[in-house]
Chains A and B, each alone.
Chain A
């Protein structure tokens, strides 16, 4: 048959993964979100370090902020890996 002579003639189109484009788009969106997150975090940490008079409060704020952010980013990454 003619289809057998074609390189991909026996390929079942219904099994082609069409979600590859969506996954790439979401990874790009995630990368953009991380750029904004890092920018905002740097601004916040700059303000705490420059103007925060009590170093203990600044350290507590930094630890709380960074630890919860890391947890949320990790969960987002895990979700993204399943897409």
Chain B
């Protein structure tokens, strides 16, 4: 399954899976839910204002109306799961040696990138907004030393500070293996 597709080294294990916070997904999904229930809501509210002729015509075609309404719900059910699949497959896998950034841009567009801990230059965390502060989610940006590198970024991840701490720990451990004791200070600037 996925482990073979990630091309992990021998003995390398996934320590952490990082995804966007559930609140972000459900904010996007709410639009789909409202669209799915829209016809029902409009009919419930609007039927009091419709002329009797139209109401009688609708009653006589009730079976056809229900048929289309169930297909409408099925359509949005499928769209909901397409949205969920894009959310679920957008993930960082953190192993002992590296971060594997899997970005599912659309159903048939997938990007996988690797970032070894000893290549990390800087990690920044941004928590923006009232809801993000109370629910503790934010953006993490990881910079590498390469000039042409765009870095790694994951948006709206839960507990970003804890994740940064964990990445720092593993980075320092890898750095010690390569060059001897070396630590990134919390407030290190370029």
Q: A37-B74, A44-B81 are in contact. Are A83 and B2 (CB under 8 A)?
A: no
- Chain A residues lying within 8 Å of B89, measured Cβ to Cβ, are 47, 51-52
Q: Interface residue count for B (Cβ, 8 Å)?
A: 27
A73 in contact (CB, < 8 A)? yes
Bound-complex Cα distance A65 to B81 (A): 8
Q: Is the CB of B81 within 8 A of A26?
A: no
**Nearest CB on B from A76, distance (A):** 4
Q: Interface residue count for A (Cβ, 8 Å)?
A: 30
Bound-complex Cα distance A51 to B112 (A): 12
Q: Is the CB of B17 within 8 A of A79?
A: no
Sampled A-B contacts (24; CB under 8 Å)? A30-B67, A40-B82, A41-B78, A44-B85, A47-B107, A49-B1, A51-B89, A51-B104, A52-B89, A53-B1, A53-B3, A53-B14, A57-B88, A61-B88, A65-B81, A69-B77, A69-B78, A72-B70, A72-B73, A75-B66, A76-B66, A79-B67, A80-B63, A83-B63
Bound-complex Cα distance A41 to B102 (A): 22
Bound-complex Cα distance A68 to B73 (A): 10
> Which residues in A have some Cβ–Cβ distance to B below 8 Å?
22, 26, 30, 33, 37, 40-41, 43-44, 47-53, 55, 57, 61, 65, 68-69, 72-73, 75-76, 79-80, 82-83
Bound-complex Cα distance A33 to B67 (A): 12
Q: A47-B89, A51-B5 are in contact. Are A26 and B64 (CB under 8 A)?
A: yes
Q: A79-B63, A83-B63 are in contact. Are A44 and B71 (CB under 8 A)?
A: no
- Chain A residues lying within 8 Å of B64, measured Cβ to Cβ, are 22, 26, 79, 83
Interface residues of B, dominant DSSP = helix
Give which listed residue, A30, A53, A61, A82, contacts B2 with CB less than 8 A.
Answer: A53
**Nearest CB on A from B176, distance (A):** 30
B84 in contact (CB, < 8 A)? yes
- Chain A residues lying within 8 Å of B17, measured Cβ to Cβ, are 53
Q: Is the CB of B66 within 8 A of A69?
A: no
Q: Is the CB of B1 within 8 A of A80?
A: no
Give which listed residue, A40, A51, A80, contacts B67 with CB less than 8 A.
Answer: A80
Q: 0/1 per residue, B55-97, Cβ < 8 Å to A?
A: 0000000011011001101100110011011001100010000
**Nearest CB on B from A77, distance (A):** 9
Bound-complex Cα distance A40 to B74 (A): 11
Q: Besides A47-B107, A79-B70, 12 other CB < 8 A contacts?
A: A26-B64, A53-B1, A53-B14, A61-B84, A65-B81, A69-B74, A69-B77, A72-B70, A72-B77, A73-B70, A75-B70, A82-B63
